[in-house]
């Protein structure tokens, strides 16, 4: 069975909206001398993990953005002093990631741009659509895939 015209239109709109919004946000972050939005996503997930840190495979599961080059991204974040890496005690081959003070500062600075942009775009959408219903429908779609 093939998608209906409406299903295809929704699929295309979701993908175009995602590309357009990410691109716009990345452009503003870049203009401010900040890393790309994918960096925010990784920094936020590591920061939320708290004290003991997060293993790279756990990080990958929780990311919003596709991270095909996660190890390269992490190496760069470690080089830039935003994330620190240590050995996972119970498995000496494993690594733990923790956000540094500098990483927190950069993530917070990024949020001063990213947060208001989310609000601006979602606020436009909420004027004509019920965001709770859209969120519920998309969340249900995601949960069916997991």
Token reading at 30: 């870049």
Q: How many CB atoms lie within 10 A of CB 113?
A: 17
Residue 88 has pLDDT above 80, yes or no: no
Q: Is the pTM of this model over 0.85?
A: no
Positions of E strands within 19-126: 83-87, 95-99
What is the per-residue pLDDT across 39-81, written as a single tens digit (0 to 9) for each? 999 999 999 998 778 888 888 877 876 667 888 999 999 999 9
Dihedral sign, CA of 132, 1, 64, 116? Answer: negative
**Torsion sign over Cα 99, 100, 103, 104:** positive
93-135 confidence digits (pLDDT tens)? 678 999 999 999 999 999 999 999 999 999 988 888 888 998 8
């Amino acid at each position: 069975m093939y998608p209906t015209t409406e299903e295809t239109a929704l699929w295309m709109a979701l993908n175009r909206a995602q590309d357009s919004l990410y691109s716009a946000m990345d452009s503003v972050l870049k203009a401010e001398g900040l890393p790309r939005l994918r960096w925010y996503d990784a920094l936020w997930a590591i920061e939320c993990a708290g004290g003991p840190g997060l293993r790279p495979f756990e990080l990958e599961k929780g990311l919003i953005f596709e991270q095909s080059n996660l190890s390269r991204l992490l190496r760069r974040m470690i080089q830039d002093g935003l994330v620190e890496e240590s050995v996972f005690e119970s498995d000496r081959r494993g690594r733990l990631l923790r956000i540094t003070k500098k990483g927190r500062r950069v993530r917070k600075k990024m949020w001063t741009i990213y947060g208001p942009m989310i609000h601006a775009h979602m606020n436009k959408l909420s004027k004509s659509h019920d965001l709770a219903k859209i969120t519920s429908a998309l969340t249900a779609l995601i949960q069916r895939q997991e």
